[in-house]
Amino acid sequence: MAKRTNTGYYMRIVHRYLGFFLAGIMAVYAISGIVLVFRNTDFLKKEVQFEKTIATNLTGVAAGKKLRIKGFKVAKKEGTVYHFKQGTYDSQTGIAKYTKKELPYVLDKMTHLHKATTNDPLYWLNIFFGTALLFFVISAFWMFLPSSKVFKKGLYFTFGGILLTLIMLFL
Q: Hey, which residues does 23 pair with through a beta bridge?
A: none
For the chain, give the percent of residues with pLDDT over 90.
85
Report the C-alpha gap between 66 and 161 in whole angstroms.
Answer: 44
Report the C-alpha gap between 155 and 151 in whole angstroms.
Answer: 6
Strands 74-78 and 81-84: antiparallel
pTM, to two decimals: 0.75
3-state SS, residue 67: helix
Domain ranges within the chain, ordered by starting residue: 7-40+105-170, 46-102
Residue 126, pLDDT score: 92
Residue 4, pLDDT score: 64
Residue 106, pLDDT score: 96
DSSP summary character for residue 73: -
3-state SS, residue 75: strand
pLDDT at 154 over 90: yes
